[in-house]
Structure 1
Amino acid sequence: MSDKLIEVSIYTDGACLGNPGPGGWAAIIYNDTVRTEIAGRDDNTTNNRMEILAAIKGLEAAPEAFNITVYSDSQYLVNTMTKNWKRQKNIDLWDQLDALV
């Protein structure tokens, strides 16, 4: 029998004051029995970078599971991942995210 959890949900958000400007990201990771909250910041960033970084950090912190669902209010993040929007910026972060999914 596998030690993997069946379901993990990750809720993410990112924001910044100004664009670019100081910003932050957060992720809440839920599984069957545990809720984990993580967050970080950057002194000079963009809103989109914080949105992507929230997903990256959430996936990195999530326990191994058969099904991981990431929830985000970022149209940029969701549509780039699910509708293959063209990636013109933030390639470094998209590469990190791709490696996790």
Structure 2
Amino acid sequence: MTDPVNPALENPTGADGMAVVEISTDGACLGNPGPGGWGAVLRYKGSEKRISGSEPDTTNNKMELTAAIEGLAALTRPSKVIIYTDSTYVRNGIMKWVAGWQANGWKTRDKKPVKNADLWRRLIEEEERHEVEWRWVKGHAGDHFNEIADELATTAARAVSR
């Protein structure tokens, strides 16, 4: 295994020459809110890197966002990225809602502040460095890398809850 995942190595590239990295992410929370963890599995030409972290008092949505942020932040250069998430909140947020929130000054249609706006801003900042494709996977349904990301997130959440 290569650590860190480094697209500068001889690796697959897209038609435009950009490196292709796949990232599976997940977040977990013991109680919501409560102790939480996030996990990400980065894959690149047969190499794999697993990263995770935790917060003592957080929410599941914050951990799902953090997993995507940290997965992208771990990349050492701009890449073509496919992110797999089981969070419709993250996928819909980044693909459908963010543009409207930005246009409305980070307010929802109901004129309420967007929850987790700080994390959404960080995700946008990380995403702008890359060409990102977002894919939803059903959680706890046998997707190998989603299961690993889930285990990383759950283990991190349990560790911080002690």
Structures share fold, TM-score greater than 0.5: yes
- Please point out which of 33, 42, 47 is paired with 1:20: 33
Residue by residue, what CA displacement relative to the aligned partner does 1:33-92 show, whole Å, maximum 9, x if unpaired?
310000011110000000000000000112435411111000100000112265610011
Letter in 2 for 1:92: D
Q: Secondary structure at the match of 2:72?
A: helix
Q: What residue number does 1:97 align with? A: 123
Residue type at the aligned position of 2:120: W
Kindly name which structure, 1 or 2, has the bigger radius of gyration based on alpha carbons.
Answer: 2
* Displaced runs of 4 or more, over 6 A: none
| 2: CA distance, partners of 1:9 / 1:64 | 14
Deviates further, 73-82 or 61-70: 61-70
Cα separation, 2, equivalents of 1:66 and 1:37: 18
Unpaired runs of 5+ in structure 1? none
- Distance in 2 (CA, whole Å) between partners of 1:77 and 1:22 is 20
TM-score by length of 2: 0.57
Instruction: Look up the SS of the partner of 1:83 in the other structure.
Output: helix
**Does 1:38 find its partner at 2:51?**
yes
Mapped pair 1:59 → 2:85: no
Q: Aligned residues, how many?
A: 99
Distance 2:125 2:85 in 1: 19
Q: Given that residues 8 and 65 in structure 1 are in contact (C-alpha distance below 8 angstroms), is that contact kept between their aligned partners in structure 2?
A: no
**Structure 1 residues 43, 30: CA separation in 2 closer, same or farther (over 3 Å shift)?**
same
Question: TM-score with structure 1 length normalisation?
Answer: 0.89
**Equivalent of 1:82 in 95, 118, 129:** 95
